[in-house]
Structure 1
């Protein structure tokens, strides 16, 4: 039976409206609408939709996909986001769940180890400290944040949309936390986005986004991210008196954050006066740090996915084979791991992640 929800997923991934899909497929807008509402199309119509969307025929005849609702996802900047961008991101989430279900059947992945800190949503810094204590990392720099996330059962995937309106998003599904990161951002921005989404996962547990106003939730997640990445005690032990942007540019490498983020954190911690903060922000902007990170850190990649693909490659299984199993275009699988797996087809890595046979 043709699955209407899968047609929506494919259409959303292509960022097409119902009218645009109808035009591309040589169908009427009414026909597309009827199909998406459950009307079964004939073979000729199915072929037209397949041609227009570029998805394998079998994809549309699989069981209903995991459909993500906007309120279940911690989107940033919902006010700025276009409907097509939101829907494309939600559809990527649906495909990402499918990919991890495929991986789950073949590998034993780390169990989620997050705690519900929703009672601390109005005290984000306290929540950040409690999670650090739970994970036993004290006040030291996180180091590789993606490696830490994956060791705690957070499933990280790529959001390869080339847009400034979708930084990252997160959600819970079947008791598994997911984080999607936009790989078009600087490495420092991506690290902060990851910590921001971690804040949503623990502060707004199971993405109960409808219970908190968007602005409040975003502010709380930002404060959590800042405190989680840059603990106040570590700042005070590592940085003396701050009087120049050059100090901040040099120091930011310790926490792998942007110069602007470190300046703001120092100001919030009372280590940088309001006057000095404003002067330093102006200087950083003139040096190009408002829109980029001229002296940036290396982008982190996924340790878990690298091991998964290396183990599969050692058995002759490629991303194309995975895409075939999932009945997805190869490009869809590639976009989910874009920028996360390092060089393609790397040798097997050492570690305890094993293929389940």
Structure 2
């Protein structure tokens, strides 16, 4: 097999190293690293040094060419705040995520994507949210488990490997499969909103997130979509009235599993709180710790697909170490992709169930 320069670049990006830094750590010259990334076949000792410096198995660099994600095809929520190294590391994690799901889908029958192209509704994100709810047949009721719903509709959900507030979530289409990466550092409520935000990107900016609309417009559209999707106007108005205090917001937010601030903003958007009350409640919520967290929170959701897949693999004697070996990845990369998403479920999983590939 030929040494893959693209795989070397991917591993370097995952470790957030520049070519010069990798050369220094591996005891090689800048020229040697550059040549290896650009098609020159390095000798075994050079590969050993590179693999050791990156903590990647040597065999990773001799596997088939990886899937390379282009920045323009990925919806990054905080692109302006991101450093190039953060962006490249996240893109490389996306490539590893595709590889992981390729491994899983070769062994299990996964749900097919059931999203619709709503790009014509970019200027009417609340309409888009209602249309998608209608397409999925869920009406205006609150969504019990957001991630399970998404996965049942073919969205491949993974944990964001970056423990970084500048990279909080992103999504993209790869072929006919939508992918969503979520940062697990946030509260469960804010992660739910991030997930709905990324769903907005997937349907509003179908297959071309960054090119469909200017970044600020795309983010605003996805935010408005998320708010309307999670908190449908009809349900909010039938459930709440005469909102005038922070305690009412805190009591009500659990119905939609959103943050107190997100619910307050939705109520203001729907004209259900006055501007004066809006400002007053924001101040009160801030004093109570709801600007940066959720003192009274909901349980974090996990992935039904990953939970069921790993449970079945464990039953067959296949561990995460085995998966990492098959993919040529370090175990920490696999762990990062499924962090807090593949916990053992304490109740019977919802349909659709996974079927093994014969």
* TM-score normalized by the length of structure 2: 0.97
Q: Per-residue displacement from partner, 1:56-102 (whole Å, max 9, x unpaired)? A: 11110011100001000000111100111111110000000000111
In the alignment, the residues of structure 2 paired with residue 300 and residue 169 of structure 1 have an alpha-carbon distance, to the nearest angstrom, of 18
Residue 341 of structure 1 aligns to a residue in which SS?
coil
1:311 matched to which residue of 2? 312
2:132 matched to which residue of 1? 131
Residue 79 of structure 1 aligns to a residue in which SS?
helix
Contact 1:159-1:168 within 8 A present in 2 as well: yes
1:27 aligns with 2:28: yes
Q: Per-residue displacement from partner, 1:233-286 (whole Å, max 9, x unpaired)? A: 100111111000000001000000000000000000000111100110111011
In the alignment, the residues of structure 1 paired with residue 258 and residue 127 of structure 2 have an alpha-carbon distance, to the nearest angstrom, of 20
Give 1:1-357 correspondences, 5 Å limit: 1-343=2-344, 352-357=353-358
In the alignment, the residues of structure 2 paired with residue 108 and residue 101 of structure 1 have an alpha-carbon distance, to the nearest angstrom, of 11
Structure 1 pair 13–347 and aligned structure 2 pair: CA distance change class (3 A): farther
Q: Which runs of 5+ in 2 are unaligned?
A: none
Deviation at 1:327, TM superposition (A): 0.8
In the alignment, the residues of structure 1 paired with residue 30 and residue 123 of structure 2 have an alpha-carbon distance, to the nearest angstrom, of 47
In the alignment, the residues of structure 2 paired with residue 125 and residue 91 of structure 1 have an alpha-carbon distance, to the nearest angstrom, of 33
Deviation at 1:211, TM superposition (A): 3.2
Q: Which runs of 5+ in 1 are unaligned?
A: none
RMSD (CA atoms): 1.4
How many positions carry a matched residue from both structures?
356
Structure 1 pair 287–348 and aligned structure 2 pair: CA distance change class (3 A): closer
Residue 20 of structure 1 aligns to a residue in which SS?
helix
In the alignment, the residues of structure 1 paired with residue 110 and residue 286 of structure 2 have an alpha-carbon distance, to the nearest angstrom, of 42
In the alignment, the residues of structure 1 paired with residue 46 and residue 174 of structure 2 have an alpha-carbon distance, to the nearest angstrom, of 33
In the alignment, the residues of structure 2 paired with residue 332 and residue 343 of structure 1 have an alpha-carbon distance, to the nearest angstrom, of 20
In the alignment, the residues of structure 2 paired with residue 42 and residue 308 of structure 1 have an alpha-carbon distance, to the nearest angstrom, of 39
Deviation at 1:34, TM superposition (A): 1.7
Deviation at 1:347, TM superposition (A): 11
